[in-house]
Amino acid sequence: MGSAKPFQNIVGKEFWSNEVTQLMHDNHGVVNICQEAIDRHLTGPLRHAVAIRYIDPSWPKNPQSIQEMTYQELATESYKMANALKSLGVKKGDVLFTLSPRIPELYIAAMGALRMGVVFSPLFSAFGPEPILARMKKGKGKILFSSASLFRKKVLPILGSLPFLEHILLIDDDGSLEDIKKAINFRDLIRTADPSPILEPTSPDDVALLHFTSGTTGEPKGAVHVHQAVVYHKISGRFALDLRPQDVFWCTADPGWVTGTSYGIISPLCNGATLLIDGAEFNPARWYEILKTFKVDVWYTAPTAMRMLMRAGDDLAKSYNFSHVRFVASVGEPLNPEVIEWAQENLHLSLHDNWWQTETGGIIICNDSGLDLRPGSMGRPVPGLEVALIKAHQGGKITFATEPGEQGEIAIRKNWPSMFKGYLDNPERYAKSFVGDWYLSGDVAKRDNDGYFWFVGRQDDVIKTSGHLIGPFEVESILMEHPAVLESAVIGIPDPVAGEMIKAFVVLKKGFASTQEQKLNILSHARIHLGVAIAPREIQFIDNLPKTRSGKIMRRLLKARELGLPEGDLSTLESNYGAP
């Protein structure tokens, strides 16, 4: 579609439920993610189009290291995977965990599992043994797909604590693990598997995906998603990311995170795009080369990645031409206006922020291609969704924030197709996520006169100082306007007069010294632009901010360490972060 605006005209409150009903009718009651992502294309012109283009880490030194797979080839490989699982006695509803680098076999494993009605639960390859153990035990993982090297380093030490694990599919087994009775050479398994078409007749409410998300305390929560989510993945990708058939699409998120699954695998395949997969770690020059060489049409990335590109310098960015990139979107953390302005000036690209969560399963609020950008805003809700701001709720009575500028918790009227259907083995926690018909996100925002949403912060992150409710994002964005500041995070710490005072943690750009003079200069900048009541009272320079491996700043960890409080679940913390 050329613009997102016509979509808004056809979407009403019943749109999403009607889409699920129509899909069930078309497929005689069957709704399966793999069927929509692959099989639907096999009778049309996309059959021989490229579904996956894999870039090996040895590229560009080795130009022959590019692998491609058409939709028909991906279908055949997923048939083999599904039939192989069936031959092993794996059944619908069993859980397959993946712990793998970004390689084509990972995507084949995911599609084959979904084809068989097996629940797909991805793990991030940088996890250590303890986070892996917590997730696999909670999810009762029956099958593990992994590389021999990752398995040996991260799973072998905990293997005795995984009683449900029956099959270990190893991509690059060199025979050194032959004493592991459960180990199977994946490539040998697939090479000899039955290539006949197969599809488990899953229903809309059959479990398809299990994504784990960290809480402030306790173990990670397993968010359960079902096959009907594919309806939302497909259409929201078309609307929020402007995805079109045969687009070259690059989602930089790892499949170990919900973004890397919902919009890194399912949505682009459903929309007939070519999914670009980079097997290497982040490198600014490499990323620019990929965008240029492979003529990426749509790029989905994260604010953290954009700030890392900023750190690499303006000259490198300006040495490339990205005129072929049609649409760029960002998710994970709020997109600071300064980052948007830098990308516009140095990359000549407009960054479109959007908002969603593991629990929502898909993009909820976005700056679509037909919307005028307002830097710093998340945009407006995807058509057909009811999104509100709730100021308070007690005894079933809800008070909504209705005036422009009023703050409230983002809430979505339930039963959109990709809404999670539970927290694994925790119905009480799931019930607390709703009040009446509304899902409570835990994120605070405000709305302007034109319906644009503006992120304020997590409820736990919002600071109350001198009677004012202050969102960290507003303060952090102003700090980033200072020429010396690369990244910042703010927290509230107890103050006997104001209740809480604002403390900022600042990462400086290269070439700027962490002197007392620099600190006073930044404080002065903040006071000029924010006023004394809202500006930080204290600044601490640090080398890195604590972030999850998906790029979200962990402000709660900064606060916990500042105040000596319990740190909660740290399983997703970047390994290179130490004490502030």
pLDDT for 532-547, tens place per residue? Answer: 767 899 999 999 998 8
pLDDT for 85-137, tens place per residue? Answer: 999 999 999 999 999 999 999 999 999 999 999 999 999 888 888 888 989 99
Residue 407 has pLDDT above 60, yes or no: yes
> What is the C-alpha separation between 119 and 220, in angstroms, rounded?
18
Over 390-450, what HEC string results? EEEEECCEEEECCCCCCEEEEEEECCCCCCCCEECCCHHHHHCCEECCEEEEEEEEEECCC
Residue 216 has pLDDT above 70, yes or no: no
Quick one: average pLDDT of 390-413?
A: 93
Which fold, 461-563? GMP Synthetase; Chain A, domain 3 (3.30.300)
**523: which strand partners?**
none
> What is the C-alpha separation between 181 and 189, in angstroms, rounded?
15
Residue 160 has pLDDT above 60, yes or no: yes
Task: Quickly list H helices, 27-121.
Answer: 33-37, 71-87, 104-115
Q: Tell me: cis bond preceding 204? Omega within 30 of 0 counts.
A: no
243 — pLDDT class (breaks 50, 70, 90): very high
10 — pLDDT class (breaks 50, 70, 90): low
> What is the C-alpha separation between 310 and 304, in angstroms, rounded?
10
pLDDT for 97-109, tens place per residue? Answer: 999 999 999 999 9
Residue 215 has pLDDT above 60, yes or no: no
Give the pLDDT confidence score for residue 379 in this predicted structure.
96
Q: What percent of the chain has pLDDT over 70?
A: 93
For 5-447, CATH number?
A: 3.40.50.12780
Taking the CB of residue 370, how many other CB atoms lie within 10 A of it? 15
CA distances 37 to 114, 268, 283, 310, 324, Å, are 10, 8, 30, 35, 26
- What is the chain's length? 580
Task: Quickly list H helices, 331-383.
Answer: 337-346
CA distances 312 to 125, 284, 465, 513, Å, are 25, 7, 36, 18
- Where are the domains positioned within the chain? 5-447, 461-563
Q: Which residue type is seen at 337?
A: P
Q: Cβ(213)–Cβ(124) under 8 Å?
A: no
Give the pLDDT confidence score for residue 577 in this predicted structure.
55
On average, the pLDDT of the chain sits at: 90
Closest CA to 238 of 32, 551, 550, 11: 11
pLDDT for 476-512, tens place per residue? Answer: 888 988 999 999 999 988 877 667 889 999 999 999 9
Q: Cβ(452)–Cβ(354) under 8 Å?
A: no
453 — pLDDT class (breaks 50, 70, 90): very high
Q: Cβ(177)–Cβ(64) under 8 Å?
A: no
Over 171-185, what HEC string results? CCCCCCCCCCCCEEE
Residue 2 has pLDDT above 50, yes or no: no
Give the pLDDT confidence score for residue 564 in this predicted structure.
84
In which residue are the tokens 């479990």 written?
207
Quick one: average pLDDT of 21-48?
A: 95
pLDDT for 264-318, tens place per residue? Answer: 999 999 999 999 999 999 999 999 999 999 999 999 998 888 988 998 999 999 9
Residue 144 has pLDDT above 70, yes or no: yes
Quick one: average pLDDT of 434-449?
A: 95
Parallel/antiparallel/unpaired status of strands 407-413 and 438-447: antiparallel
